Amino acid sequence: MRGGSLSSLAQANTLASSSKPKKGNKRARIASSAASTSDAPKAKKDRLTAESLQWRTLNPASFSGFDDGGGMMMLEELDDVGVEWETAEGGMKVARFVAAEGKKGKGKAKAVEPAVVDEEEVWGGIPDDAVPEADEAEGSGSEDGADLPEFSRVEKEDLDEEDEEETEAAEPFDDALLPAWSEISLHPRIKRALLALGFVSPTGIQGRALPSGLSGRDVVGVAETGSGKTLAYSLPILSHLLLSPTPSKSTRRPLSALIVCPTRELALQVVDHLQKVVAHLMDDEERAQAKKHNKPPRVSIGSVIGGLSAHKQKRIVDRGADILVATPGRLWDLIKSDEDLATGVRTLKFLIIDEADRMIENGHFAELENIVRLTQRQGASTAGPDDDDPVFAAANSDSAPESRPREDMQTFVFSATLSKDLQQNLKRKQRKPKNGTKRASALEDLVDRLDFRDANPEVIDLSPEGGVVATLRESMVECVVTDKDLYLYYFLLRYPGRTMVFTGSIDGIRRLIPLFEMLQMPVYPLHSQLQQKQRLKNLDRFKEAKSAVLIATDVASRGLDIPNVDHVVHFNLPRTADAYIHRSGRTARAQNPGFALQIVSAEERGMQRSLMRSLGRTVELPELPIESGFLPKLKERLRVAQAIEKAQHEVKKETHDRNWLKEAAEAMDIDLDDDMLDDGELTFDRPHIRPQHRRKGNRTESVANLKAELKHLMKEPLVARGVSARYPTGGSKVIIDDLVRASGHETLLGAPTAKAWDEPQKKGKKIVSGNKRKRPAATAAAA
């Protein structure tokens, strides 16, 4: 969960009132100077306005990751200017640029805007690289220990120091700086972090859930996608940890909180989000002191997820963490072989189930159920299929009070979609089914396993009418199934930006990726059969690009908080209303506008209507306006790209078949010569290997021809009807002005540069049941 966009805004505010970043062009500025950046000037110096200075644009390569993907697109630097901080009204620090003393174009000492997190900082927690670079060694980023201070080397003076540090006085926070948070009794350091991150007011779910969470209650929170649920459940944990004694270097810290997430990406994102807050718990001075004295992190966050090295994750667990963010499969594997971890989970203070409903869909029920059962108190324990697992046997035999489940454990269950029935069920004191009755769903079963300590957990349902957020605009294109690629291509070209395309299968992604690569679109796949490193790499590339397309299965539909996703395209409809809500929720996050498009074939219309009805909709979605003049050329490009894709696929298949034949012949001790392979005499039991399929040479030639044809087509301009690309002052639609002012569409000549969100929304018709409908509108346009 990257709070990037908002934190960038906070940075811009504190930087200089006169240097507001231009809309849509976020940039950070670094002033290089010999002068110090200390607080309030000692003697009044000449102030300079930001616009009067000579900023130099830096090469993006030199600051990649600076804003951690939070939308920073530009960085400028400047020499020989001082930065001084003044305290403005309300205590806000404001930077002023002043002429550097004794500097006339020489000298270079950098003063960096302070809201930027020191990447090497360790005191505030693990450095901000929890999402590992795919090329790095495996493991959960910095948690492999390489970047952390050496805790094992405990010297006498360190121990003495520890003794003095048992409690820590927190400087009170001036609530006037964040009035909207004043009612919520968070630790002052957390408020300081919220201020630094630019989170000036709690979101709806935070405002409702935090008071209960902070007062020790169990909470079930349901709120729209992108509404800040992560902090709603994690701030009580941080507050609790900050109120606990400072951790010692000499002892392994006990596990306080476990956050279980359904997908690996989501788990890493939760770590990232928490670290952003943790990094701001200290000011610069405190951080420097902590670093100097090699103090352990105040709050330590570890992650345990599948797909990355189990060995390294075990090391993280062995070292001890306050908060563990995990996917159920890997966590249960580790628990089985680690008694200390099992005890840690049994004695948790906080158990958080994020996106509980998805966990069930993922088939992680058994592992999750086992993990949850470990936290049950005696008497509350339910019998389970793995009762004879040594983990449970050890738990039952260990009667030491410190290894028993805590009476004050808090359980938080959060999701954007939890059925009303289930919420009612959660509210009931007696949640167990009557003898002999079975629960309707696995989720209800899971809920039965949760041993809420609270007789009446707080259930907060802020889910919006119709399922999706108010800042989302939805539209649809109806077409014949074979034209889906065409309308996707049209949409991606017509509305550049960050687009997530959801397909119904991995095969669908495998077909679309090479096709759109041939069409020179910046596409990246994301699905469960990709290696974890590749998944993270693709996600990072998508996040970094201004305009890119992530083609994904539902593995990316939940929880991912990618900054500024402009569009979500449902290339295949999701199977459930919940999946539609989560997929669409990747855009329009944190009150930002977003756009969701459904590309629906005639065969899918019935399903689409019932999907909309189950979301409580009574009118059809408006249809996306299509400028049909562009379609014939796009169709032609696609035809050739599809032919290349098919031919390449067959060449691959042929090679595979030939290898198979060779291996089979070898196994049977038959001598094969190349002629036999080429003229198709030998087919064994594989009648589909026909002689004509063996003409590899011909096929390679035809692939080359098709590629040449596509290359030619890709060079031809795409022009709207009535536009002459050759004579921009002629034709029925003159585009010379667009060309001169560079105001027209970059790729589609003659089209205005509209955003999908701004397209006129015709009111949809009333949803009728069944499949009675006229010929699809978009098909007519394409004809």
Shortest CB 758 distance to ligand ATP, Å: 23
- Alpha-carbon distance 501 to 493, whole Å? 14
Q: Which of residues 391-410 bind ligand ATP (CB under 6 A)?
A: none
521 binds ligand ATP (CB under 6 A): no
Cα 449 to Cα 444: distance, rounded to the nearest angstrom: 9
> To which H or E segment does residue 270 belong?
helix 264-279
The answer to whether residue 296 forms part of the interface with ligand ATP (CB under 6 A) is: no
User: Which C-beta is closer to ligand ATP: that of 210 or that of 718?
Assistant: 210
Min dist CB 314 to ligand ATP, Å, is: 28
Query: Sign (positive/negative) of CA torsion 621, 624, 625, 630?
Result: negative
CA distance 533 to 140: 11
Check: CB of residue 32 under 8 Å from CB of residue 111: yes
Select from 229-237, 522-530, 611-619, 771-779 the region that touches ligand ATP (CB under 6 A): 229-237
Q: Which is nearer to ligand ATP, 1 or 426 (CB)?
A: 1
Closer to ligand ATP by Cβ: residue 9 or 316: 9
Q: Is 485 a residue that touches ligand ATP (CB under 6 A)? A: no
Residue closer to ligand ATP by CB (options 149, 204) is 204
Q: Does 297 bind ligand ATP (CB under 6 A)?
A: no
Judged by CB under 6 A, the residue of 8, 32, 33, 206 near ligand ATP is 206
d(C-alpha 333, C-alpha 327), whole Å: 11
C-beta of 266: minimal distance to ligand ATP in Å?
A: 7
- Select from 225-233, 239-247, 480-488, 699-707 the region that touches ligand ATP (CB under 6 A): 225-233
Stretch that binds ligand ATP, among 200-208, 283-291, 451-459, 754-762 (CB under 6 A): 200-208
- Contact call for residues 124 and 280 (beta carbons, < 8 A): yes
CB-nearer residue toward ligand ATP: 277 or 706: 277
How far, in Å, CA of 476 to CA of 498, rounded? 18
Identified binder of ligand ATP from the candidate list 11, 14, 33, 227, rule CB under 6 A: 227
Contact 63, 544 (CB under 8 A): no
Q: Which two tokens stand for residue 196?
A: 């630094």
Distance CA 774, CA 706 (A): 37
DSSP 259: E
Instruction: Give backbone dihedrals phi and psi of 62, rounded to 5 degrees, phi first.
Output: -80, -10
Q: Does 376 bind ligand ATP (CB under 6 A)?
A: no
How far is residue 331 CA from its own chain's centroid? 21
Q: How far is the CB of 724 from ligand ATP (least distance, A)?
A: 46
- Nearest distance from C-beta of residue 678 to ligand ATP, angstroms: 55
Tell me which residues in 36-65 interact with ligand ATP (CB under 6 A): none
Helix (H) or strand (E) holding 192: helix 188-197
Choice between 346 and 558, CB closer to ligand ATP: 558
What sign has the CA pseudo-torsion 739, 741, 745, 746? positive
* In the complex, minimum distance from the CB of residue 502 to ligand ATP, in angstroms, rounded to a whole number: 14
Q: Is 199 in the site for ligand ATP (CB under 6 A)?
A: yes
Q: Least Å distance between CB 6 and ligand ATP?
A: 5
* 3-state class percentages of the chain: helix first, strand second, coil last, to nearest 5: 40, 15, 45
Give the one residue of 21, 127, 213, 228 binding ligand ATP; rule: CB under 6 A: 228
Pick one of 142, 230, 532, 557: the residue that binds ligand ATP (CB under 6 A). 230
Question: Of 225, 248, 503, 572, which one interacts with ligand ATP (CB under 6 A)?
Answer: 225
Phi, psi for residue 77 in degrees, rounded to 5: -125, 170
Check if the beta carbon of residue 581 is closer than 8 Å to that of residue 225: yes
- Residue 97 in contact with ligand ATP, rule: CB under 6 A: no
For residue 617, state whether it binds ligand ATP (rule: CB under 6 A).
no
CA nearest neighbour of 574 among 586, 561, 566? 586
Q: Which residues pair with 82 in a beta bridge?
A: 98
Q: Does 3 bind ligand ATP (CB under 6 A)?
A: yes
Question: CB-wise, 329 or 594, nearer to ligand ATP?
Answer: 594
Contacts of ligand ATP in 435-464 (CB under 6 A): none
Upper half-sphere CA count for residue 339 (Cβ side, 13 Å): 8
- Exposed e or buried b per residue across 316-349, where buried means at least 16 C-beta atoms within 10 angstroms of its C-beta: bbebbbbbbbbbbbbbbbbbbebeebbbbbbbbb
> Which residues 574-603 are close enough to bind ligand ATP by CB under 6 A?
585, 589-590
The residue among 83 and 195 lying less far from ligand ATP, judged by its C-beta, is: 195
Q: How far is the CB of 356 from ligand ATP (least distance, A)?
A: 12
CA–CA dist 554, 56 (Å, integer): 43
Among 27, 229, 373, 567, binds ligand ATP (CB under 6 A): 229
Q: Does 71 contact ligand ATP by CB under 6 A?
A: no
262 binds ligand ATP (CB under 6 A): no
Which CB sits closer to ligand ATP, 554 or 561?
561
Nearer to ligand ATP by C-beta: 226 or 247? 226
Among 117, 416, 526, 599, binds ligand ATP (CB under 6 A): 416
Q: Evaluate whether 272 touches 130 at the Cβ level (below 8 Å).
A: yes
* 499 vs 569: CA distance, rounded Å: 7
**Cβ nearer to ligand ATP, comparing 212 with 230:** 230
Give the whole-angstrom CA distance, residue 115 versus residue 14.
Answer: 8
Among 140, 142, 203, 347, binds ligand ATP (CB under 6 A): 203
The piece of 114-122, 144-152, 220-228, 419-427 that touches ligand ATP (CB under 6 A) is 220-228
Reported as type and span, the H/E element at residue 190 is: helix 188-197
Question: One-letter amino acid identity for 234?
Answer: S
Site for ligand ATP contains 231 (CB under 6 A): yes
To the nearest whole angstrom, how small is the minimum distance from the Cβ of residue 236 to ligand ATP? 14
Q: Is 561 in the site for ligand ATP (CB under 6 A)?
A: yes
- 78 DSSP β-pair partners: 31
How far is CA 616 from each of CA 15, 330, 579, 612, 619, rounded to the nearest angstrom?
A: 46, 38, 15, 7, 9
**Which listed range, 1-9, 387-395, 470-478, 670-678, lies at the site for ligand ATP (CB under 6 A)?**
1-9
Q: Which amino acid is at 129?
A: D
Question: Which residues make Cβ contacts (< 8 Å) with residue 316, sequence separation at least 6?
Answer: 139, 140, 143, 144, 145, 302, 303, 304
Cα-based distances in Å from 651 to 436, 512, 518, 701, 711: 59, 18, 17, 11, 21
- Residue 448 C-beta: closest distance to ligand ATP, Å: 24
**341 vs 639: CA distance, rounded Å:** 56
Terminal alpha carbon distance of the chain:
44
Question: Contact with ligand ATP (CB under 6 A): which of 559, 629, 728, 744?
Answer: 559
Could you give the 3-state DSSP secondary structure of residue 311?
helix
The verdict on 139 binding ligand ATP (CB under 6 A) reads: no
Q: What angle do CA 160, 163, 165 make, to 5 degrees?
A: 115
Cα(153)–Cα(161) distance, rounded to whole angstroms?
A: 14
Whether the Cβ atoms of residue 411 and residue 453 lie closer than 8 Å to each other = yes
User: Which of 71, 141, 226, 236 is close enough to bind ligand ATP by CB under 6 A?
Assistant: 226
Cβ closest to ligand ATP, residue 122 vs residue 231? 231
Q: Is the CB of 229 or the CB of 511 nearer to ligand ATP?
A: 229
Q: Does 178 bind ligand ATP (CB under 6 A)?
A: no
Q: Does 498 bind ligand ATP (CB under 6 A)?
A: no
Residue 69 binding ligand ATP, by CB under 6 A: no
Q: By C-beta, is 346 or 589 nearer to ligand ATP?
A: 589
Q: How many residues bind ligand ATP (CB under 6 A)?
A: 21
Which residues contact ligand ATP by CB under 6 A?
1-3, 6, 199, 202-203, 206, 225-231, 416, 559, 561, 585, 589-590
